[in-house]
Amino acid sequence: MPYTRNDLADNTRKAMAELLNARLADTLDLKLAVKQAHWNVKGPDFIALHELFDAIAARVDTQADDIAERAVALGGVAHGTAQNVAQKTTLQPYPSNLTGGKAHLEALADRISALGKLTREAINQADEAGDKDTADLFTGQSRALDKDLWFIEAHLQE
């Protein structure tokens, strides 16, 4: 790791940069999935879902930026290329043939909940490593993902 005046131990910073990059790949993948839904949704709820998906994509994009910048602040490198995301994401591939609103809602709910679970695990990992700031970053992301999951699932309820 390059020299920094950050007082976290090198091994902690290295481990956190790896953890952050793992979640960065998933977060960028989720953003692209939400944009896929935004661009292709059809049906009677088109405008409501189109706007909802765009708002979620913007929030997820901000989360990705925060994650990448934290990795770099710790002395790491942010790995956010499309190639890296394709290789490293742990989310299921998003179907490219969906058009119906309900199908997009179901697919996004699955991916948002999966990233939420991974993010809560990352909170614990960062906390155990003694990096309260990275744990806090993931805590904020977890809250936002839970809220977006609520928004998505509200459309799936009768």
Residue-by-residue pLDDT tens, the chain, 158 positions: 777 888 889 999 999 999 999 999 999 999 999 999 999 999 999 999 999 999 999 999 999 999 999 999 999 999 999 999 999 999 999 999 999 999 999 999 999 999 999 999 999 999 999 999 999 999 999 999 999 999 999 999 97
Token pair of 132 as six digits: 């309260």
Buried/exposed code over 129-149 (b: 16+ C-beta within 10 A; e: otherwise): bebeebbebbbebbebbeebb
Q: Is residue 61 part of a domain?
A: yes
DSSP helix/strand/coil, 129: coil
Residue 115: how many other CB atoms lie within 10 Å: 27
Q: What pLDDT is recorded for position 94?
A: 98
pLDDT at 19: 98
**Which 3 state secondary structure label does DSSP give 44?**
coil
Per the structure, the count of domains in the chain is: 1
In a domain, 30, yes or no: yes
48 domain-assigned: yes
**Residue 129 included in any domain:** yes
By residue range, what is the domain housing residue 91? 10-154
pLDDT of 51 reads 98
Q: What is the pLDDT of residue 7?
A: 82
Query: In this structure, what CATH number is given to the domain that contains residue 145?
Result: 1.20.1260.10
2 inside domain? no
Residue 4 within any structural domain of the chain: no
Q: How many CB atoms lie within 10 A of CB 69?
A: 13
**122 inside domain:** yes
Residue 3 has what pLDDT?
A: 77
58, 35, 56: which is closest to 154 by C-alpha? Answer: 56
Is 144 a member of any domain? yes
Q: Are 49 and 101 in contact (CB under 8 A)?
A: yes
